Amino acid sequence: MAGNGVVPSGAGRADPNRDLGTPGQQQCTGLARLPRRAFGWMHYHGGGRRGQWAEAGPGLWSRADGLHPALLTTGVRAPARTSIASNPTRLRSALAGGVHSSILENHMSLAAVAHPVVTPTDKLTAFLEDHRGFVLDHAGTRHPFLEAYSTGGLSAQQTRICFLEFYQFINKYPFYLSILGGRLEDMSALQEIIRINADEVAAFRGKPHLQIYREFLNALGVSDTEIDQYQPQLPSLAINEHVRNAYLHSPVAEAVGALFGLETMASHMMYCLDQGLRVSGYSDAVRFFFTIHVELEKNHAEESFEAAKPLFRGDELSVRANEVLFEKGLREFMARLDGFWSGVGARCDLAA
């Protein structure tokens, strides 16, 4: 493994304050813009919710003062969060789901306050937060293979297979995303898509992320010829084709549902992959693609959240129709993601 740029490295949780490359590296990947849209992540119990930041597991952070640890020196505050205090059903679900007692005490103390007037904006935020919770708790996001890999790693041959399969998932993504942006016909939604894709294609400077990924495969000992001639398994081809069909051909609300699922789960996925490489002994330089994406995907999740909002403004019938399509696109993508990781795990088992 030493010949593949591998060095011993300890396991453990990623430090959000760690060095993520030089300012030039951060700029070329889009990481330098992280404070522009600071984002507080939650884990969800009993449906989606916003409140204080709560401990959410690997890669998802917590701060009661609303500041991400990496942003403490910038003075950038995360967006205001709504409370579940006025909703007894959610409080009971939160209790059953094991939410930290200090958070519940805060919410319970507020539960006696009169229920505020529910505005369309509140309903829209609650709808999207509920679906964010669905994504973060879904088996496709917290797949047993990913969770096991993040702590146990893989052999060198299994690692090459895993990431060659993963390449089939992402190798056309910026092109699909560009076409989806043109289909939205809403300027604010288009702006969000452009922000995501500007990172992916390095629109301002640096290397496109697919190029960085191919260089990562090269560091694993996989040549460009091997990358191009690799024969992936059906679930890997299927998820790529599913995203293509969703973004290019599905009704727009259904396509945005798929986008929302993909971008919401991506930070946790990248964290698991980064940690799996780490415990397998790969150096920071080899893992660079994944390390930067743990952070970048938090921005992309927020941007997909904002891109979805215009779908749910308008007359009641059109909003309801878009809700149904959005949920369909979201659930179908997450089911496909679950199948993808099951397939990758099975193929890695064969190479053991």
HEC readout, 8-35: CCCCCCCCCCCCCCCHHHHHHHCHHHHH
pLDDT of residue 273: 98
The mean per-residue pLDDT over the stretch 153-167 comes to 97
Residue 284: which of 18, 16, 3 has the closest Cα?
Answer: 18
Q: How many Cβ atoms are within 10 Å of 152's Cβ, its own excluded?
A: 12
Cβ pair 138, 113 in contact under 8 A: no
The mean per-residue pLDDT over the stretch 208-223 comes to 98
Residues 126 and 122: their CA atoms lie apart, in Å, by: 6
Cβ pair 322, 184 in contact under 8 A: no
> Among residues of the chain, what percentage have pLDDT more than 90?
62
- Residue written as token pair 């030039």: 24
Answer yes or no: is pLDDT of 292 > 70. yes
Q: What tokens appear for 82 in the block?
A: 């709504």
| Conformation bin of residue 87: beta by default, left when phi > 0, alpha when psi is -120 to 50 | beta
pLDDT of residue 18: 40
pLDDT of residue 314: 87
Q: Tell me the angle at which helices 288-308 and 120-137 cross, rounded to the nearest 10 degrees.
A: 150
Residue 110 lies in a domain: no
| Conformation bin of residue 32: beta by default, left when phi > 0, alpha when psi is -120 to 50 | alpha
The parent domain of residue 167 ranges over: 118-350
Answer yes or no: is pLDDT of 312 > 50. yes
Lowest mean pLDDT among 28-37, 259-268, 269-278, 336-345: 28-37
Handedness of CA 307, 313, 316, 317 (dihedral sign): negative
Residue 4 lies in a domain: no
- How many domains does the structure of the chain reveal? 1
> Among residues of the chain, what percentage have pLDDT more than 70?
66
User: Mean of the per-residue pLDDT values for the chain?
Assistant: 77
The mean per-residue pLDDT over the stretch 278-283 comes to 97
The mean per-residue pLDDT over the stretch 187-200 comes to 96
Burial 4-31 (b: 16+ CB within 10 A, else e): bebeebeeeebeeeeebbeeebbbbbbb
Residue 77 lies in a domain: no
Residue 297 lies in a domain: yes
Q: Domain holding 295: CATH number?
A: 1.20.910.10
pLDDT of residue 204: 84
Residues 120 and 316: their CA atoms lie apart, in Å, by: 11
Q: How many Cβ atoms are within 10 Å of 185's Cβ, its own excluded?
A: 9
82-110 pLDDT, tens digit per residue, is 333 334 444 344 444 444 444 334 433 43
Is 19 or 40 the better-scoring residue by pLDDT?
A: 19
Residue 140 lies in a domain: yes
DSSP, res 80: P
Q: Residue 251: what are its φ and ψ, rounded to 5°? A: -50, 145
Which amino acid, residue 240?
N
Residue 55 lies in a domain: no
Residues 61 and 80: their CA atoms lie apart, in Å, by: 16
The mean per-residue pLDDT over the stretch 302-321 comes to 94
Answer yes or no: is pLDDT of 159 > 90. yes
Residue 58 lies in a domain: no
The mean per-residue pLDDT over the stretch 202-220 comes to 95
Residues whose CB is less than 8 angstroms from the CB of residue 126 and which lie 6 or more positions away in sequence, other chains included: 48, 82
Cβ pair 145, 271 in contact under 8 A: no
249-273 pLDDT, tens digit per residue, is 999 999 999 999 999 999 999 999 9
Answer yes or no: is pLDDT of 55 > 90. no
Cβ pair 91, 107 in contact under 8 A: yes
Answer yes or no: is pLDDT of 68 > 60. no
Answer yes or no: is pLDDT of 31 > 80. no
Residue 281 lies in a domain: yes
pLDDT of residue 119: 54
List residues bridging with 282 in a β-sheet.
6
pLDDT of residue 45: 30
Tally of residues, the chain: 352
